[in-house]
Amino acid sequence: MQTTKAMNAPAKLSLRARAYENFRQQILQANVVPGQFVSQRELTQLLDMPLGAVRELIPRLEAEGLLRTVPQRGLQIAHVDLNLIHNAFQLRAMLEREAALHFVKAVSDADLLLIERSHLAIVEAAKQGPITDDLLAEATSVDWGLHDLMIDTLGNELISQTYRINSLRVRLIHLERSTLSAEILLPAMQEHLNLISSLKARDAAAVAEHLAFHIHSAHQRVLGQDRRVQARQSAAAHPVDFSNLQTEFS
Protein backbone atom coordinates (compact mmCIF):
# COMPACT_ATOMS: atom_id res chain seq x y z
CA MET A 1 0.00 0.00 0.00
CA GLN A 2 2.80 2.41 0.85
CA THR A 3 4.47 1.64 -2.47
CA THR A 4 1.28 2.47 -4.37
CA LYS A 5 0.91 5.79 -2.55
CA ALA A 6 4.53 6.65 -3.24
CA MET A 7 4.05 5.90 -6.93
CA ASN A 8 0.89 8.01 -7.12
CA ALA A 9 2.26 11.01 -5.19
CA PRO A 10 4.21 12.61 -8.09
CA ALA A 11 1.22 12.32 -10.40
CA LYS A 12 -1.09 13.92 -7.84
CA LEU A 13 1.42 16.68 -7.20
CA SER A 14 1.68 17.32 -10.93
CA LEU A 15 -2.11 17.48 -11.21
CA ARG A 16 -2.33 20.02 -8.39
CA ALA A 17 0.45 22.07 -9.95
CA ARG A 18 -1.33 22.06 -13.30
CA ALA A 19 -4.58 23.14 -11.65
CA TYR A 20 -2.80 26.06 -9.95
CA GLU A 21 -1.08 27.11 -13.17
CA ASN A 22 -4.42 26.99 -15.00
CA PHE A 23 -5.97 29.22 -12.33
CA ARG A 24 -3.05 31.64 -12.62
CA GLN A 25 -3.57 31.84 -16.37
CA GLN A 26 -7.26 32.63 -15.87
CA ILE A 27 -6.21 35.68 -13.85
CA LEU A 28 -3.52 36.75 -16.32
CA GLN A 29 -5.95 36.43 -19.22
CA ALA A 30 -8.71 38.27 -17.31
CA ASN A 31 -11.08 35.31 -17.58
CA VAL A 32 -11.94 35.72 -13.91
CA VAL A 33 -12.51 39.06 -12.22
CA PRO A 34 -12.29 40.27 -8.62
CA GLY A 35 -15.38 39.44 -6.56
CA GLN A 36 -16.73 36.95 -9.11
CA PHE A 37 -18.62 33.95 -7.72
CA VAL A 38 -18.08 30.50 -9.18
CA SER A 39 -19.21 27.03 -8.16
CA GLN A 40 -16.78 24.13 -7.86
CA ARG A 41 -18.25 22.64 -11.03
CA GLU A 42 -17.84 25.93 -12.91
CA LEU A 43 -14.26 26.13 -11.69
CA THR A 44 -13.54 22.63 -12.99
CA GLN A 45 -14.84 23.69 -16.40
CA LEU A 46 -12.89 26.95 -16.32
CA LEU A 47 -9.64 25.22 -15.40
CA ASP A 48 -10.33 22.11 -17.51
CA MET A 49 -9.36 19.96 -14.54
CA PRO A 50 -11.09 17.09 -12.69
CA LEU A 51 -13.19 17.91 -9.65
CA GLY A 52 -10.76 16.17 -7.30
CA ALA A 53 -7.85 18.36 -8.39
CA VAL A 54 -9.96 21.51 -8.02
CA ARG A 55 -11.04 20.50 -4.51
CA GLU A 56 -7.39 20.03 -3.56
CA LEU A 57 -6.55 23.40 -5.10
CA ILE A 58 -9.15 25.43 -3.19
CA PRO A 59 -7.40 25.37 0.25
CA ARG A 60 -4.18 26.65 -1.34
CA LEU A 61 -5.99 29.49 -3.11
CA GLU A 62 -7.78 30.38 0.14
CA ALA A 63 -4.48 30.38 2.06
CA GLU A 64 -2.96 32.73 -0.55
CA GLY A 65 -5.93 35.10 -0.37
CA LEU A 66 -6.91 34.53 -4.00
CA LEU A 67 -10.20 32.82 -3.29
CA ARG A 68 -12.64 32.43 -0.41
CA THR A 69 -15.57 30.16 0.32
CA VAL A 70 -18.80 32.01 1.02
CA PRO A 71 -21.47 29.83 2.67
CA GLN A 72 -24.52 29.25 0.45
CA ARG A 73 -22.99 31.35 -2.33
CA GLY A 74 -19.98 29.37 -3.49
CA LEU A 75 -16.40 30.39 -4.22
CA GLN A 76 -15.49 34.06 -4.60
CA ILE A 77 -12.44 35.37 -6.43
CA ALA A 78 -10.53 37.76 -4.16
CA HIS A 79 -12.39 41.02 -3.65
CA VAL A 80 -10.25 44.12 -4.13
CA ASP A 81 -10.37 46.65 -1.30
CA LEU A 82 -8.04 49.36 -0.01
CA ASN A 83 -6.42 47.03 2.49
CA LEU A 84 -5.49 44.53 -0.21
CA ILE A 85 -4.17 47.29 -2.47
CA HIS A 86 -1.93 48.85 0.16
CA ASN A 87 -0.64 45.51 1.46
CA ALA A 88 0.07 44.10 -2.00
CA PHE A 89 1.95 47.17 -3.19
CA GLN A 90 3.91 47.49 0.06
CA LEU A 91 5.05 43.87 -0.24
CA ARG A 92 5.86 44.39 -3.92
CA ALA A 93 8.00 47.44 -3.16
CA MET A 94 9.95 45.61 -0.43
CA LEU A 95 10.66 42.52 -2.53
CA GLU A 96 11.52 44.36 -5.73
CA ARG A 97 13.85 46.86 -4.05
CA GLU A 98 15.97 44.02 -2.66
CA ALA A 99 15.91 42.29 -6.04
CA ALA A 100 16.84 45.44 -7.97
CA LEU A 101 19.84 46.16 -5.75
CA HIS A 102 21.11 42.66 -6.51
CA PHE A 103 20.16 42.85 -10.19
CA VAL A 104 22.16 46.03 -10.81
CA LYS A 105 25.32 44.07 -9.93
CA ALA A 106 24.37 40.72 -11.45
CA VAL A 107 22.79 41.48 -14.84
CA SER A 108 25.08 41.48 -17.87
CA ASP A 109 25.46 44.37 -20.29
CA ALA A 110 24.24 42.11 -23.10
CA ASP A 111 21.04 41.25 -21.24
CA LEU A 112 20.41 44.90 -20.43
CA LEU A 113 20.76 45.77 -24.11
CA LEU A 114 18.15 43.15 -25.04
CA ILE A 115 15.82 44.41 -22.30
CA GLU A 116 16.23 47.99 -23.44
CA ARG A 117 15.57 47.08 -27.08
CA SER A 118 12.36 45.25 -26.18
CA HIS A 119 11.11 48.40 -24.44
CA LEU A 120 12.19 50.70 -27.26
CA ALA A 121 10.36 48.46 -29.73
CA ILE A 122 7.15 48.99 -27.76
CA VAL A 123 7.74 52.76 -27.73
CA GLU A 124 8.36 52.84 -31.47
CA ALA A 125 5.20 50.84 -32.20
CA ALA A 126 3.15 53.05 -29.88
CA LYS A 127 4.44 56.25 -31.49
CA GLN A 128 3.63 54.93 -34.97
CA GLY A 129 0.18 53.88 -33.78
CA PRO A 130 -2.46 52.81 -33.45
CA ILE A 131 -2.08 51.39 -29.94
CA THR A 132 -3.92 48.09 -30.29
CA ASP A 133 -4.96 45.54 -27.67
CA ASP A 134 -2.20 43.26 -28.98
CA LEU A 135 0.40 45.98 -28.43
CA LEU A 136 -0.90 46.61 -24.91
CA ALA A 137 -0.70 42.88 -24.18
CA GLU A 138 2.87 42.78 -25.48
CA ALA A 139 3.78 45.86 -23.44
CA THR A 140 2.31 44.27 -20.32
CA SER A 141 4.41 41.16 -20.95
CA VAL A 142 7.57 43.24 -21.40
CA ASP A 143 6.74 45.29 -18.29
CA TRP A 144 6.18 42.32 -15.99
CA GLY A 145 9.01 40.39 -17.62
CA LEU A 146 11.59 42.83 -16.26
CA HIS A 147 10.15 42.68 -12.75
CA ASP A 148 10.00 38.87 -12.84
CA LEU A 149 13.59 38.66 -14.07
CA MET A 150 14.89 40.92 -11.29
CA ILE A 151 13.18 38.76 -8.67
CA ASP A 152 14.34 35.46 -10.14
CA THR A 153 17.94 36.67 -10.45
CA LEU A 154 18.08 36.56 -6.65
CA GLY A 155 18.01 32.77 -6.95
CA ASN A 156 15.78 32.46 -3.88
CA GLU A 157 12.81 30.14 -4.46
CA LEU A 158 10.98 31.35 -1.35
CA ILE A 159 11.16 34.97 -2.47
CA SER A 160 10.18 34.06 -6.05
CA GLN A 161 7.17 32.08 -4.82
CA THR A 162 6.05 34.87 -2.48
CA TYR A 163 6.48 37.40 -5.29
CA ARG A 164 4.50 35.28 -7.78
CA ILE A 165 1.58 34.94 -5.37
CA ASN A 166 1.61 38.67 -4.68
CA SER A 167 1.84 39.38 -8.41
CA LEU A 168 -1.47 37.57 -8.88
CA ARG A 169 -3.00 39.85 -6.24
CA VAL A 170 -1.60 42.88 -8.07
CA ARG A 171 -2.99 41.56 -11.38
CA LEU A 172 -6.44 41.21 -9.79
CA ILE A 173 -6.13 44.77 -8.48
CA HIS A 174 -5.28 46.01 -11.98
CA LEU A 175 -8.25 44.15 -13.43
CA GLU A 176 -10.51 45.91 -10.93
CA ARG A 177 -8.95 49.36 -10.83
CA SER A 178 -6.48 50.08 -13.61
CA THR A 179 -4.87 48.36 -16.59
CA LEU A 180 -2.06 49.34 -18.90
CA SER A 181 -3.95 51.60 -21.30
CA ALA A 182 -3.05 53.63 -24.37
CA GLU A 183 -3.01 56.74 -22.18
CA ILE A 184 -0.37 55.48 -19.77
CA LEU A 185 1.62 53.17 -22.05
CA LEU A 186 4.37 55.65 -22.96
CA PRO A 187 4.76 57.09 -19.42
CA ALA A 188 5.02 53.54 -18.02
CA MET A 189 7.60 52.57 -20.65
CA GLN A 190 9.56 55.76 -19.91
CA GLU A 191 9.62 54.87 -16.22
CA HIS A 192 11.09 51.50 -17.18
CA LEU A 193 13.61 53.06 -19.56
CA ASN A 194 14.78 55.41 -16.81
CA LEU A 195 15.24 52.36 -14.58
CA ILE A 196 17.12 50.53 -17.33
CA SER A 197 19.35 53.55 -17.88
CA SER A 198 20.31 53.47 -14.20
CA LEU A 199 20.93 49.73 -14.40
CA LYS A 200 23.27 50.27 -17.37
CA ALA A 201 25.13 52.93 -15.36
CA ARG A 202 25.36 50.49 -12.40
CA ASP A 203 23.96 53.27 -10.21
CA ALA A 204 22.27 51.42 -7.34
CA ALA A 205 20.86 54.56 -5.71
CA ALA A 206 19.25 55.72 -8.96
CA VAL A 207 17.90 52.20 -9.60
CA ALA A 208 16.20 52.19 -6.20
CA GLU A 209 14.80 55.69 -6.82
CA HIS A 210 13.36 54.90 -10.26
CA LEU A 211 11.92 51.58 -9.14
CA ALA A 212 10.24 53.19 -6.12
CA PHE A 213 8.74 55.88 -8.36
CA HIS A 214 7.47 53.31 -10.86
CA ILE A 215 5.77 51.18 -8.20
CA HIS A 216 4.38 54.26 -6.46
CA SER A 217 2.92 55.50 -9.75
CA ALA A 218 1.22 52.14 -10.35
CA HIS A 219 -0.11 52.20 -6.78
CA GLN A 220 -1.56 55.67 -7.21
CA ARG A 221 -3.15 54.77 -10.54
CA VAL A 222 -5.14 51.94 -9.02
CA LEU A 223 -6.26 54.31 -6.29
CA GLY A 224 -7.55 56.65 -8.99
CA GLN A 225 -4.87 59.26 -8.36
CA ASP A 226 -3.15 59.47 -11.72
CA ARG A 227 0.51 60.47 -11.44
CA ARG A 228 1.04 61.55 -15.03
CA VAL A 229 2.20 64.98 -13.84
CA GLN A 230 4.87 63.40 -11.68
CA ALA A 231 5.79 61.10 -14.57
CA ARG A 232 6.34 64.13 -16.80
CA GLN A 233 8.43 65.77 -14.10
CA SER A 234 10.50 62.60 -13.76
CA ALA A 235 10.88 62.40 -17.53
CA ALA A 236 12.13 66.00 -17.60
CA ALA A 237 14.63 65.27 -14.86
CA HIS A 238 15.75 61.97 -16.42
CA PRO A 239 14.98 62.23 -20.14
CA VAL A 240 15.17 59.27 -22.48
CA ASP A 241 16.17 60.13 -26.02
CA PHE A 242 13.72 58.56 -28.47
CA SER A 243 15.14 60.44 -31.46
CA ASN A 244 17.33 57.52 -32.55
CA LEU A 245 14.53 54.97 -32.60
CA GLN A 246 14.50 54.77 -36.40
CA THR A 247 18.26 54.18 -36.46
CA GLU A 248 18.04 51.66 -33.65
CA PHE A 249 15.53 49.48 -35.46
CA SER A 250 16.41 50.14 -39.10
Percent of the chain at pLDDT > 90 equals 56
CATH 3.30.1490.20 assigned to domain 82-249? The reply is no
Question: How many whole angstroms separate alpha carbon 104 and alpha carbon 99?
Answer: 9
Residue 76, SS3 per DSSP: strand
Q: Any idea what DSSP says for residue 20?
A: H
Can you tell me the mean pLDDT for 45-73? 91
pLDDT of residue 230: 44
Which pTM was predicted? 0.76
**Which DSSP state fits 29?**
T
Which residues face 68 on adjacent strands? 76
Q: Is the pLDDT of residue 65 over 80?
A: yes
Break the chain into its structural domains and give their ranges: 2-77, 82-249
Q: 82-106 and 204-222 helices cross at what angle (nearest 10)?
A: 160
Q: What is the mean pLDDT of residues 199-216?
A: 97
Pairwise CA distance, residues 150 & 106, whole Å: 9
Question: Is residue 3 over pLDDT 80?
Answer: no
Report how far residue 158's alpha carbon sits from residue 7's, in angstroms, rounded to the nearest whole number: 27
Domain 2-77 and domain 82-249 have a common topology: no
Give me the pLDDT at residue 244, please: 45
pLDDT at 60 over 70: yes
pLDDT-based confidence at residue 221 (cuts at 50, 70, 90)? confident
Q: Give, in order, the Cα–Cα distances in Å from 20 to each of 99, 207, 248.
A: 25, 33, 41
**What is the pLDDT at residue 176?**
66
Question: pLDDT tens digits for 8-51?
Answer: 444 455 788 889 989 988 888 888 888 899 999 999 999 999 99
Flag whether pLDDT at 174 surpasses 90.
no
Which residues contact residue 107 at a Cβ distance below 8 angstroms, ignoring those fewer than 6 apart?
Answer: 153, 199
Domain 2-77 classification at class level: mainly alpha
Mean pLDDT for the stretch of residues 170-199? 84
- What is the per-residue pLDDT across 71-110, written as a single tens digit (0 to 9) for each? 888 999 988 889 999 999 999 999 999 999 999 999 999 9
Residue 152: what pLDDT? 97
What was the pLDDT predicted at 4?
43
Residue 1 above 50 pLDDT? no
Distance (Å, whole) CA 17 – CA 140: 25
- Provide the terminal-to-terminal Cα distance of the chain, rounded to the nearest Å: 66
Q: Does 154 have pLDDT greater than 50?
A: yes
- Distance, in Å, from the CA atom of 246 to the CA atom of 250, rounded to the nearest integer, reads 6
Closest CA to 215 of 74, 97, 78: 97
